[in-house]
Amino acid sequence: MSLEQAPDEVKLAVDLIVLLEEHAIAPQTVLKALEIVRRDFENKLAAPEA
């Protein structure tokens, strides 16, 4: 399957991986940051719509 036909979450994941690798960010830093991002978006899902 080509990336063009991949689901949006796969495209986003590939973009993020490329961005993080291009900036040579340490894997431990990436994982800590992703956990913060995950919590933020989980909170957004749980929040009532305004």
| Of 8, 9, 33, 7, nearest in space to 20 by CA | 33
CA distance 25 to 32: 11
Q: Residue 30's CB: how many other CB atoms inside 10 A?
A: 15
Task: Give phi and psi for 24, each to the nearest 5.
Answer: 50, 45
pTM: 0.78
pLDDT of residue 50: 61
Residue-wise pLDDT tens for the chain (50 aa)? 688 999 999 999 999 999 999 999 999 999 999 999 999 999 999 987 76
pLDDT of residue 35: 98
